[in-house]
Structure 1
Amino acid sequence: MQHHKLLVSLGLALSLLAVNNGAQAAPDLNAAPVKRALALIAAQPKRINGSGADTYAARDWIVDRSGAEHVRFDRRYRGLPVLGGDFVVHQDASGRLASVSQTLTRPLNVDLKAAFTEADAIRVAEAAFTGTREGRAIVSKLIDARSTPAVLAYDVRLAGVTEDGTPTRRHWLVNAGTLALIDGWDEVQTAAATATGNSLLSGVIALTTDSQSSGGYVLRDPSRGGQATVDLRNTRLAVLAKAYTDSDNVWGDFTNSDRATVGVDAAYGAALTWDYFLAQFGRRGIADDGVGATSRVHYGRNYVNAFWDNGCFCMTYGDGDGGSYLPLVAVDIAGHEMTHGVTSRTANLTYSGESGGLNEAMSDIFGTLVEYAANNSISTPNYLIGERIYTANNGSPTPTQALRYMFKPSLDNKSPDCYVGNIGNLDVHYSSGVANHFFYLLTQGAVSPPGFTLAPSALVCNGNTAIRPISRDQAAQILYRALTVYMTSSTGYAGARSTTLQAAADLYGTQSAAYTAVAAAWAAVGVN
């Protein structure tokens, strides 16, 4: 793995999640919003491109202050999961069907007779797998409805470790009729008592820890769902993780010589992310169930990466290479990784093609928003991603090295500034640049950031340098609503434009400055 591909991992499980995004901690299939939505589906199946062989399961729902209800469903066809078949039913306050968000364009009619066997599909997936395999392949069937016509496919899951030590649980989709390799992505996502933390990257910070009845403290936050920070002791084995404990509740010494120092940074980033999503959107933790995630630090040796893993509901951080890269516990990286968890429990954007780029961009965007909410004077917020992990940037108020540049994505020499038709063929960390660019223009306009001297015309793709930006808080509300209410697993850039415009209309009206800015910012990056 190359250094410019840091934060590479994000896992999108194909399993149908049952996570409620409403007021309750777990989905109640008999809840009134679900019952009303199911009744609307039964009465108007054409609105969801339903077939007689479809069944539907509610995954989450949101009830607006106006009383409008938004219920997200997963679809099965003759008992098989349908990738790209999920949809959101929008009901107005009077219970009428207002609209449906979906990517499926016609009712399914798929031949379920496979021309090839599971063993054939495994051989195709194994030929594509790189790294060290662990365990046996797991295979199931599904319907891939992201393109027309929909096809029967094998979902082959292979676990192991990549060349740089990142754990991998890779999905390979293999056409059951032709053995063509359709797609692939990873499940592993590559971001009480008042204590004092002496961090590596953010100075002296306040933490909340858990006091023990036997005396001393543990680096666990009971006020934020019990989210804990543990030391993997430079292994990759979860069973060897060690809880951080301390007698005086002062953690770290600002350097790597104290193993608790980067634990402080990780705990700080997790607390900031929890607080941001709660304050801005009323979201209680990643899954909106009040349960905190675990942060794992000191993963492996000379590991220059970080990742979110839905399987363990945890963030994991490497220590860097001891030279060019510091431990990857910067605030925006923590926010990035935890946002992957939020995305997986809402729109569940599939981690490939354009939807994968949008998935990465959502993490970059909300990681940046967490950094701005923190407003740490030592780790100054900006529109660079991961800049604080570069040793060369240490102590600089205007760093210029970064993993990604939201205002000019092409500065990484990999990401396009503007939308192109084949953008879905790029690595998702590069195809994300267009959405990152959109967000920068939406909140800053065509203005060069500190430390850079870029002409306004170099910051847009259509010559329009007169974009009137809106506040970050307004932009955050629009993007969060689009993600949690309107986007589905297969949403691409055209869908991102339409869903963010719809969200802006819902929140501020079609004649608002916010709606106009959203349209102008998308146009300025070539999404029309």
Structure 2
Amino acid sequence: MSAAAITLLAGAVAPPAVTADRPTRSTAIDNATSALLDQAARLGLTSAQETKVRDVIVDADGGQHVRYDRTFRQLPVLGGDFIVHLSPDGAYRGANRATSADLSVPSVEPDLPAPKAADLAAAALRTANLGETLRKVTAKPQLVVDALHGSPKLAWRTEAAGQDSLGNPVARVLLTDAVTGRQIDAWDSIETATGDGQSLYSGKVPLETTPTGSAYELTDPTRGNTYTGDAQNKTDRCVLVVCLNRAPATVFTDADNHWGSGSASDRATAAVDAQYGTDTTWDYYEKVHGRLGIAGDGKGSYNRVHYGSKYNNAFWDDSCFCMTYGDGDGTTFGPLVSLDVAGHEMSHGVTSKTAALTYSREPGGLNEATSDIFGTLVEFYAGNSSDPGDWLIGEKIVKPGFGRSALRYMDQPSKDGKSVDCWNSLVGTMDVHYSSGVANHFAYLLAEGSGPKSIGGVQHNSTTCNGATVTGIGKDKLGAIWYRALTVYMTSSTTYAGARTATLNAAKDLYGAGSTEYDAVAAAWSAVSVN
């Protein structure tokens, strides 16, 4: 994609011009602090609660949106997050809360002891990985107040982790009632998707590197010092889910600043794909959405390639602020370093720093869909002729043994045999990788509309759940609307109904109530049965 095209596309969705006296982040926090004092009763804040700023968005016109987490008597509150909205002069406009319920619980002393909570979580991890002999299983309970699942209650949030028979990591979170011992919820905690360089999937690509004496390091000083290292087919060694001995990330070096050969047998080739994916994802968020890095703070993440043995996965890990890629088993998956996988996984990091959508039930489906949406938009943004943009997820990494041409299909999610095209009351009980189909289908319809068409050399054909014909408004407007909804309106408990409201609010902010874009958002949600 040319620089001119990038400027044109950004201009199509650009907010009003930046004013000279646009509030700073610290000013927005000060204004929000004053608003919390004035609006404490309305927001349900009490002396037993404390708040902590998680993220700040300042609009071009000076509007401010400050996102908070809450504790109750020093315990983290799941679902206690909220966003305060302020006008350009700092006046309170309103708020979005993950829950409006009273967060107080009768006691913060559990009846269920921590060791028992740990045992239950370890057992849940083994059950979820039935058929695998797990080793080095550990579990770390944390006492919390759960306000995500009905009336607030004291609970243990326990992270259990271990290794499968090949030494690859498995992890699961169990949420347990700290009074009764009843399981409240459980979810996987590894969020999966599954000079120049010759990449495996994207052809010859440019790379920014760092000279070191007579050689070069695969470290990019122009993008927060992001770098790519070799994990040497090792895995992390963790105790109680705290990784004290991580798999190495030995930074790749090269003598002539021409990296990789385009063959998987050259270990630097996968590193080229990973670094290119990080660079492109960074550029997409910065140039399209004005976000500087995953956390919005200019800090670069890093990559580990060649992780584990025949590891059929890739994942983002907040605790190391890093991306990790397996080599695949060669039968179902090749190395999992394709551009859309990189954009998908790093977008999990963006979600964790903003809406922090809980990785289970309907919020979990929205979490996965957010990564599919932005991973796809990163692929389109790249404009790479070796990997043209399409609405398939992971099409480059699948092998004949996988049995189909992609991990997921956003135009018709049910083509994978497991995902759903339309919302129904059971969606919240599904695996989040399949319940994401509802939002993926919405995103495709909003951008491209219904009916058959060829995109990136791939035939797409999206039908609607209500039989209506939907006209798309383009990928750039989809991205602008979803990003604003994610960063300004969604919370940890947002459901599909809440996502409809959040995206309509975002469309109203960007294009006006009753605009073509606003009406298109409403029509696309109705087309996937979210009414």
Provide the C-alpha distance between the structure 1 equivalents of 2:458 and 2:273, rounded to a whole number of angstroms: 28
The residue matched to 1:356 in structure 2 has which SS? helix
For 1:426-441, what aligned pairs fall within 5 Å after superposition?
426-441=430-445
The residue matched to 2:295 in structure 1 has which SS? coil
Provide the C-alpha distance between the structure 1 equivalents of 2:158 and 2:460, rounded to a whole number of angstroms: 46
| CA distance 1:494–1:126, change in 2 (3 Å) | same
Provide the C-alpha distance between the structure 1 equivalents of 2:30 and 2:233, rounded to a whole number of angstroms: 50
- Matched with 1:143 is 145
- Matched with 1:386 is 394
Provide the C-alpha distance between the structure 1 equivalents of 2:498 and 2:344, rounded to a whole number of angstroms: 22
Q: Do the aligned partners of 2:330 and 2:399 also contact (CA within 8 Å) in 1? A: no
1:443 corresponds to which of 435, 442, 447: 447
Deviations 1:455-505 (Å, cap 9, x if unpaired)?
A: 66xx1101111x221121111111111111111111111111101100110
Provide the C-alpha distance between the structure 1 equivalents of 2:171 and 2:342, rounded to a whole number of angstroms: 21
1:62 corresponds to which of 57, 64, 70: 57
Does residue 207 (structure 1) correspond to residue 211 (structure 2)? The answer is: no
Question: Displacement of 1:240 after TM fit?
Answer: 3.8
Q: Which residue identity lines up with residue 150 of structure 1 in the other structure?
A: P
- Matched with 2:414 is 410
Provide the C-alpha distance between the structure 2 equivalents of 1:448 and 1:48, rounded to a whole number of angstroms: 47
Provide the C-alpha distance between the structure 2 equivalents of 1:135 and 1:414, rounded to a whole number of angstroms: 30
| CA distance 1:525–1:118, change in 2 (3 Å) | same
The residue matched to 1:347 in structure 2 has which SS? coil
Does residue 517 (structure 1) correspond to residue 520 (structure 2)? The answer is: yes
- Matched with 2:282 is 274
| CA distance 1:136–1:204, change in 2 (3 Å) | closer
Does residue 101 (structure 1) correspond to residue 96 (structure 2)? The answer is: yes
Question: Displacement of 1:163 after TM fit?
Answer: 5.6
Does residue 247 (structure 1) correspond to residue 262 (structure 2)? The answer is: no
- Matched with 1:71 is 66
| CA distance 1:527–1:206, change in 2 (3 Å) | same
Provide the C-alpha distance between the structure 1 equivalents of 2:248 and 2:76, rounded to a whole number of angstroms: 36
Provide the C-alpha distance between the structure 1 equivalents of 2:285 and 2:460, rounded to a whole number of angstroms: 33
Provide the C-alpha distance between the structure 1 equivalents of 2:205 and 2:503, rounded to a whole number of angstroms: 35
Question: Displacement of 1:36 after TM fit?
Answer: 2.2
The residue matched to 1:173 in structure 2 has which SS? strand
Provide the C-alpha distance between the structure 1 equivalents of 2:467 and 2:165, rounded to a whole number of angstroms: 43
Question: Displacement of 1:140 after TM fit?
Answer: 2.1
Question: Displacement of 1:235 after TM fit?
Answer: 2.0
Q: Do the aligned partners of 2:234 and 2:247 also contact (CA within 8 Å) in 1? A: no
Q: Do the aligned partners of 1:51 and 1:107 also contact (CA within 8 Å) in 2? A: no
| CA distance 1:401–1:136, change in 2 (3 Å) | closer
Q: Which residue identity lines up with residue 219 of structure 1 in the other structure?
A: L
- Matched with 1:190 is 192
Structure 2: gaps (5+ residues): 1-23, 237-245
Q: Do the aligned partners of 1:103 and 1:490 also contact (CA within 8 Å) in 2? A: yes
The farther-off stretch of 219-228 and 331-340 is: 219-228
Provide the C-alpha distance between the structure 2 equivalents of 1:510 and 1:484, rounded to a whole number of angstroms: 20
Question: Displacement of 1:196 after TM fit?
Answer: 2.0
Q: Do the aligned partners of 1:209 and 1:218 also contact (CA within 8 Å) in 2? A: yes
Provide the C-alpha distance between the structure 2 equivalents of 1:294 and 1:454, rounded to a whole number of angstroms: 34
Deviations 1:59-87 (Å, cap 9, x if unpaired)?
A: 22111122211111111112211100100
Provide the C-alpha distance between the structure 2 equivalents of 1:418 and 1:498, rounded to a whole number of angstroms: 17
Question: Displacement of 1:350 after TM fit?
Answer: 1.0
Question: Displacement of 1:311 after TM fit?
Answer: 1.5
1:127 corresponds to which of 109, 123, 129: 123
Does residue 344 (structure 1) correspond to residue 352 (structure 2)? The answer is: yes
Does residue 40 (structure 1) correspond to residue 35 (structure 2)? The answer is: yes
Provide the C-alpha distance between the structure 2 equivalents of 1:417 and 1:66, rounded to a whole number of angstroms: 38
Q: Do the aligned partners of 2:31 and 2:91 also contact (CA within 8 Å) in 1? A: no
| CA distance 1:94–1:225, change in 2 (3 Å) | closer
Q: Which residue identity lines up with residue 493 of structure 2 in the other structure?
A: S
Deviations 1:369-410 (Å, cap 9, x if unpaired)?
A: 0000111111111000000112459xxxxx971100001111
Provide the C-alpha distance between the structure 1 equivalents of 2:288 and 2:459, rounded to a whole number of angstroms: 33
Structure 1: gaps (5+ residues): 1-27, 394-398
Structure having greater relative contact order (Cα 8 Å, sep ≥ 6): 1
Question: Displacement of 1:148 after TM fit?
Answer: 2.5
Q: Do the aligned partners of 2:229 and 2:251 also contact (CA within 8 Å) in 1? A: yes
- Matched with 1:508 is 511
- Matched with 2:105 is 110
- Matched with 2:9 is none
The farther-off stretch of 402-411 and 244-253 is: 244-253
The residue matched to 2:77 in structure 1 has which SS? strand
Deviations 1:317-366 (Å, cap 9, x if unpaired)?
A: 11122234221111000000110111111111111111111111110000
Provide the C-alpha distance between the structure 1 equivalents of 2:458 and 2:59, rounded to a whole number of angstroms: 42
Provide the C-alpha distance between the structure 2 equivalents of 1:292 and 1:507, rounded to a whole number of angstroms: 29
1:313 corresponds to which of 309, 321, 327: 321
For 1:348-359, what aligned pairs fall within 5 Å after superposition?
348-359=356-367
Question: Displacement of 1:97 after TM fit?
Answer: 1.9
- Matched with 1:294 is 302
- Matched with 1:218 is 217
Task: Tell me how large the CA RMSD over aligned residues is.
Answer: 2.2
Q: Do the aligned partners of 1:49 and 1:104 also contact (CA within 8 Å) in 2? A: no
The residue matched to 2:208 in structure 1 has which SS? strand
Provide the C-alpha distance between the structure 1 equivalents of 2:150 and 2:333, rounded to a whole number of angstroms: 45
Q: Do the aligned partners of 2:51 and 2:70 also contact (CA within 8 Å) in 1? A: yes
Provide the C-alpha distance between the structure 2 equivalents of 1:455 and 1:217, rounded to a whole number of angstroms: 46
Provide the C-alpha distance between the structure 1 equivalents of 2:514 and 2:314, rounded to a whole number of angstroms: 42
- Matched with 1:236 is 235
Provide the C-alpha distance between the structure 1 equivalents of 2:480 and 2:524, rounded to a whole number of angstroms: 16
Provide the C-alpha distance between the structure 2 equivalents of 1:481 and 1:103, rounded to a whole number of angstroms: 17
The residue matched to 2:525 in structure 1 has which SS? helix
Provide the C-alpha distance between the structure 2 equivalents of 1:66 and 1:307, rounded to a whole number of angstroms: 36
- Matched with 1:160 is 162
Q: Do the aligned partners of 2:209 and 2:216 also contact (CA within 8 Å) in 1? A: yes
Q: Do the aligned partners of 2:146 and 2:155 also contact (CA within 8 Å) in 1? A: yes
Provide the C-alpha distance between the structure 1 equivalents of 2:421 and 2:354, rounded to a whole number of angstroms: 27
**TM value normalised by structure 1:** 0.88
| CA distance 1:140–1:108, change in 2 (3 Å) | same
Q: Do the aligned partners of 1:133 and 1:159 also contact (CA within 8 Å) in 2? A: no
- Matched with 1:88 is 83
Q: Do the aligned partners of 1:158 and 1:169 also contact (CA within 8 Å) in 2? A: yes
Q: Do the aligned partners of 1:169 and 1:187 also contact (CA within 8 Å) in 2? A: yes
Q: Do the aligned partners of 2:411 and 2:460 also contact (CA within 8 Å) in 1? A: no
| CA distance 1:437–1:241, change in 2 (3 Å) | same
Q: Which residue identity lines up with residue 201 of structure 2 in the other structure?
A: L
- Matched with 1:21 is none
Provide the C-alpha distance between the structure 2 equivalents of 1:203 and 1:455, rounded to a whole number of angstroms: 28
Q: Do the aligned partners of 2:229 and 2:305 also contact (CA within 8 Å) in 1? A: yes
Q: Which residue identity lines up with residue 368 of structure 2 in the other structure?
A: E
**TM value normalised by structure 2:** 0.88
Provide the C-alpha distance between the structure 1 equivalents of 2:328 and 2:103, rounded to a whole number of angstroms: 48
